[in-house]
A = this chain, B = another copy of it.
Amino acid sequence: MSGNHGYIADKDAYVRRLKLIEGQARGLQRMVDDEAYCIDILTQVTAMKRALESVSLELLRDHMGHCVVNAARESDEAADEKIDEAMKAIARLVKS
């Protein structure tokens, strides 16, 4: 189901941010290879988790402002379906 989603307007920015996160994963591999101190590695892992979290929250914002709003304007059923779906994603995000 590719195409018309809220985030498309910022596609390049999302790809750039995910490339930075990919780089963080490589940086962590180097820290482990170099036998860096455990707590320093943990600090970087948490920073990477936060970067992912902020990407998730922005993707969610785009989804709500586009897909959820369109569904709300379509019908109660469409709105309920989209909101239930978004709530499952939010619950997973809250518990991760």
Contacts and interface: CB of A to CB of B under 8 A. Distances in A.
B62 A96 contact: no
The number of chain A residues touching the other chain, given as a range, is: 35 or more
Interface of A: 1-3, 5-8, 11, 14-15, 18-19, 21-22, 25-26, 28-29, 32-39, 41-43, 45-46, 48-50, 52-53, 55-57, 59-65, 67-69, 72-73, 76, 79-80, 83-87, 89-96
A63 B49 contact: no
A90 to B, nearest CB: 6
A13 B4 CA distance: 39
Contacts of A93: 42, 46, 90, 94
Contacts of A57: 87, 90-91, 94
